[in-house]
Every structure is written in C-alpha cells, then in structure tokens.
Amino acid sequence: SGFGDTLLTLEVDNIHTRNFDNTQFGDRDQLSAGARMYWTGLNERVQVLAVWNELANSNGRVRRMSFDYDLSDEFQLGLLYVNYDTPANSLFAPYGNNDILQFQLQYNFQY
C-alpha cells in the first residue's frame, strides 16, 4: 500500500458563450476546476475517495470524502462526508446548508 495504489486527477473547464447577452446568468467565459484522489490499500479492502470542485465564477465549492472498508466478502463499512461552500449571492446558495455526514453498514447476500 503506497503511492502506486493512488490515482490523482486534475481537471480545468472553461465555458465560453458565443451569443452572450447581459440577461444571462454568469459571464461570457466561466472557469471551473476540480481535483480527485482515489486510494486503495490492504489488497483493495480499503478505498478512500476525495473530490474537490471549484464551481464556475467563484460560485462556491463542493468537497466530498468517502472511506469504505470491506470487513469480509459480506460486510462493508462506509463513511461519507460532503461539504457545500457557497457565498450568499451565489446561484447555488440554497444548497449551502446541505452538508452530509453518512455512516453505512452494507451486507451482501450473494456469494
């Protein structure tokens, strides 16, 4: 378990609106970015996923972290955390208070 079990991804997006007018939300050019890290360890019994997205035009960011552990072939434990961070004047402000903290226990009936 180490760096060889890690996948890093970076993404930058630009949206350019060709027939832009001032009645539209946002700017003619909108830039956003994201990063993702996925790690598996202990013979892929542990999986950690972290995602960060910067929304276009500084409208906020979304952060997500999940941790899954395979106890056996039948049982899996999981933890998920999602954080929404938006300024008050953002189009996404209504979602700013929808943070998530979730614990899960999964049982698989199949063999």
pLDDT string in tens for the chain (111-residue length): 567 789 999 999 998 878 877 776 667 788 899 999 999 988 889 999 999 999 888 889 999 999 999 999 899 999 999 999 999 888 888 888 899 999 999 999 876
The whole-number pLDDT of residue 111 equals: 64
Amino acid type, 6: T
Instruction: Give the CA diameter of the chain.
Output: 59
The whole-number pLDDT of residue 35 equals: 98
Does the global pTM surpass 0.85? no
Strands across the sheet containing 6-16: 6-16, 29-41, 46-54, 61-70, 75-85, 100-107
Q: How far apart are CA 81 and CA 93, in angstroms?
A: 19
Question: Phi and psi at residue 16, in whole multiples of 5°?
Answer: -115, 120
Q: How far apart are CA 97 and CA 99, in angstroms?
A: 6
